[in-house]
Amino acid sequence: MWSDLSARHLLALRAVVEEGTFGRAAERLGFTQSAVSQQIAALEGIVGETLFDRPAGPKPPTLTAAGELLCSHADVLIDKIEDAERDLSRFVRGIEGSLSIATFQSVSARVLPTALRQLYKTVPGLEVALQAEEEQEVRLEAARNGEVDVAFIIGDSPTAFDTIEGLEAIYIGADPHVALVPADTPPGVFKLSEISASPMVGQPATDTCGLIIDRALERHGVTPNYTFRSHDNGAVQGMVAAGVGVAVVPLLTVDTTDPEVSIRETEPALEPRHLALAWSTRRRRSPLARRFVEIAAESCGELLANARHPEAG
């Protein structure tokens, strides 16, 4: 039956054809001559045709018409098997494949370029699909369901990621909160007590980052007076530059090269937002996904450690 056909039959067929004799084919494959003869006999039994003419004496075996036809298919099948072996080997070693990542603005702009640049050095054919989503619940659900390999997530403490249902997470760093004010603001730290009397711009209260900031301000007895809210980090910074209001934002969201704004420490300092990478506990991570997590964690740690210190005055 054709269902009994295996790669070893086809390898024996090709070896005999290329080496010219059963003896040399056996040496090439590391078998005995009788073992190769048995493989060819078994193959002929499977396909129901004689594949070799075996003349008496020293003359080498030659393919029959049926043998030539089968041999042409055998070459294609063996090449496919070797391709599969090579591709799987590269996949297992984490040097080939694709990644799907759930992310959000500041990570996409600041963390991912460094991490993926490092990964592309060893995986030049890497295919990356980003699912950009500001709503954290959407990112969590995508990771939980296995729709993405990994998701960047945010918490208000380093332990916030320890018990997320259906997910495993690795902590990758703390992103400090800073005040963003127009460039012509007098020097000095930004006192939180002044916020209640100042118009504020920032992220929506429904956004995880916005919620963390609002709760942190409330713990310090501060009631912000928002005049503008947006998920768009550039829009928030543009409003500050235009003098519409001041903002309290995570440092990674800030374009630190913008001459129209000034970055200040707050007094008292607010607890930073905390970043992690998460993935489904129900889906085995690929070697490539594991490598990405390691590189992204290292890149994010270095980025936060080397971030420009806010201006104190």
The total of structural domains in the chain comes to 3
Q: Does residue 189 contact residue 312 with C-beta atoms inside 8 Å?
A: yes
Residue 207: predicted pLDDT: 85
pLDDT tens per residue across span 35-80:
988 989 998 888 898 989 888 777 888 889 888 888 888 888 887 8
Answer yes or no: is 116 within a domain.
yes
Choose among 48, 47, 49, 61: nearest CA to 16: 61
Which of 92, 118, 136 is the last residue in one of the domains? 92
Domain co-membership, 164 together with 292: yes
Q: Which of 92, 120, 147 is the C-terminal boundary of a domain? A: 92
Domain boundary among 71, 92, 113: 92
Residue 91 contacts residue 286 (beta carbons within 8 Å): yes
Write down the pLDDT at residue 312.
43
**Residues with pLDDT less than 50, the chain:** 312-313
In a shared domain, residues 283 and 157: yes
Same-domain pairing of 149 and 8: no
Residues 143 and 258 both lie in one domain: no
Does residue 157 sit in the same domain as residue 282?
yes
Q: What is the pLDDT of residue 234?
A: 95
Which domain CATH number covers 263?
Answer: 3.40.190.10
- pLDDT of 63 reads 87
What is the number of helices (H) and of strands (E) in the chain?
10, 14
Say if residue 256 is in the same domain as residue 208: yes
Give the global pTM: 0.69
Question: Where in the sequence is the domain holding 108, given as residue range(s)?
Answer: 98-171+277-305
| Whether 263 and 116 share a structural domain | no
